[in-house]
Amino acid sequence: MSSSLRVSAKLLDRQLEGGRMSRRDFMKFCGIVAAAMGMPAAFAADVALALETKKRPSVIYMHGAECTGCTEALLRSIDPYIDTLIMEVISLDYCESIMAAAGHAAEKALEKAMKNPEGYFCTIEGAIPMKQGGVYGKVGGETMLSLFSRVAGGAKGVIAMGTCASYGGVQAAAPNPSGAVGVGEAFAAMGIKPINISGCPPNPINFIGTVVHLLTKGMPELDAVGRPKMFFGSTVHDKCQRRKHFDAGEFAPSFQSKEAREGWCLHLLGCRGPYTFNNCPTAQFNQSNWPVRAGAPCLGCSEPGFWDQYAPFNRDVLMKGEKA
């Protein structure tokens, strides 16, 4: 507190961190998103132009059978921070997790957003319970199945946020008590093909990059299971920092081993990285870590059906099903 230099540095830090984004920050965000999308640096200017000159596009964010972890992941975004996202990039017109209105006022906000003459994008977090007509999940007295079919059906585009919305997720694991399925499966008959941003949780940059792509260049190219190739084009194994140990045949045999301590490959401990398409090693989580770096084998959380097909966890794929 005594040195004036320290105070001014602190002040600068607070202005950057305290919710006041400058033009410079905005351009930095555009550049980072362009890079995450695999675009050349010059594309940042296109991103900025597209985001600044348009009326903020309306986004309706629905919560189905979920844990709100995807929303939490989105709250951790820094490119841009969430306040910049919802105040300067998109208009988040319905999102139960953070919206001010409740009850009838919330329902009216949803109706209003759905009547927007300029249309809206629909994001769904969570699976959709289908059993017995969907009675196991309701919002405002209406089943999620019915409500989401209306919201997604009228949208300009649908994003499935996270593995539950993409493929059913944890509640769809055997015996799938509520008959939960992903958005694409639930509404296939309506011709709805969502963009799947899978992951448990998904990396927020993959959601933001997809939104920016939709706003600037339209529909991104998708892989066979509906994920944008720009984020899900290579496996976790491909760019893993422990890859050199795999290539050298250096595997940690157990969590207490010297090899685990020294950061060797987790393949024998059940790492599903070679079979999992996602950008975790390069994008990282929370700007500070990702599971394999922290010694935890990849669970394969962005793959369809991983809760059953990649389980049991923490054992070599060759021993899968055997008792460790």
Partner 1 sequence: MAETAYTGRISVDPITRIEGHLRIDVEVKDGIITSAWSSAQLFRGLEMIVLGRPPEDVHHYVQRACGVCTNSHSLASIRAVENAVGVKPPPAAELVRHLILGMLNIHDHLVHFYHLHALDFFDMATALKADPVAAAKLATQVSGREVPPGDYFMVQAKLKKFVESGQLGWLTNAYFLGGHPSYRLTPEENLIMAANYLEGLRVQVKLARAWAIFSGKNPHAQTMQVGGVTCYESLKPERLAEFKALFEECIPFLKHNYMGDLVLIGRRYPEACIYGRTTNFMDFSDFHDPETGKNPAFRGGVMWKRNLKQVEEFDPKALKEDVTRSWYKTTEAKHPYEGSTEPVPGEFDPSGKYSWVKAPRYKGESVETGPLARQAIAYARGDKATTTFMNAWLSACSLKPENMFSTVGRTAARMVETLVLIDLINGWHKDLTARAKHPDVEIYKPWKMPDKARGVGYVVAPRGGLSHWIRIEGGKTANYQMVVPSTWNLGPRCAAGKPSPVEESLVGNPVADPERPVEILRTVHSYDPCIACAVHVIHAGGEKTFKVL
Q: Does 117 bind partner 1 (CB under 8 A)?
A: no
320 touching partner 1, by CB under 8 A: no
Residue 186 found at the interface with partner 1 (CB under 8 A): no
Burial 14-43 (b: 16+ CB within 10 A, else e): eeeeeeebeeebbeebbbbbbbbbebeeeb
**Least spacing, CB of residue 188 vs partner 1, in Å:** 22
- Name which of 159 and 180 has its Cβ closer to partner 1: 180
Question: Rule CB under 8 A: is residue 177 a binding residue for partner 1?
Answer: yes
User: What sign has the CA pseudo-torsion 305, 311, 315, 320?
Assistant: negative
Is 106 a binding residue for partner 1 by CB under 8 A? The answer is: yes
- With b meaning 16 or more CB within 10 Å and e meaning fewer, what string describes 153-176? eebebbbbbbbbbbbbbbbbbeeb
Which residue among 6, 9, 12, 19 contacts partner 1 (CB under 8 A)?
Answer: 19
Compare residues 171 and 210 and give the one whose CB is closer to partner 1. Answer: 171
CA distance 25 to 51: 14
- Of 24-32, 188-196, 225-233, 254-262, the segment contacting partner 1 by CB under 8 A is 254-262
Q: H or E element: which one contains 314?
A: none
Number of residues near partner 1 (by CB under 8 A) = 99
Q: Which of 52, 72, 221, 223 binds partner 1 (CB under 8 A)?
A: 72
Q: Closest distance between partner 1 and the C-beta of residue 62, in Å?
A: 11
AA identity, residue 249: G
H or E stretch at 230 = helix 229-232
Q: Which is nearer to partner 1, 102 or 190 (CB)?
A: 102
Which residue from 66, 235, 237, 279 is in contact with partner 1, where contact means CB under 8 A? 66
Task: Note whether 175 binds partner 1 by CB under 8 A.
Answer: yes
How does strand 142-143 pair with strand 91-95?
unpaired
53 in contact with partner 1 (CB under 8 A): no
- Shortest gap between Cβ of 185 and partner 1 (angstroms)? 17
How far is residue 58's CA from residue 80's CA, in Å, rounded to a whole number? 17
Residue from the set 32, 34, 48, 180 that interacts with partner 1 by CB under 8 A: 180
First-last CA distance in the chain: 57
Q: What residues numbered 187-206 form the site for partner 1, per CB under 8 A?
A: 200-201
For the bound state, the minimum distance from the C-beta of residue 105 to partner 1, rounded and expressed in Å, comes to 4
Q: Is 215 in the site for partner 1 (CB under 8 A)?
A: no
CB of 192 closer than 8 Å to CB of 153: yes
Residues 282-311, one symbol each (x = binds partner 1 by CB under 8 A, - = not), give ---xxxxxxx-xxxx--x-------x---x
Pairwise CA distance, residues 190 & 169, whole Å: 21
SS3 143: strand
CA 271 distance to own-chain centroid: 21
- Which x/- pattern, by CB under 8 A, does the window 124-153 give for partner 1? -----x-xx--xxxxxxx------------
Binding of partner 1 at residue 256 (CB under 8 A)?
A: yes
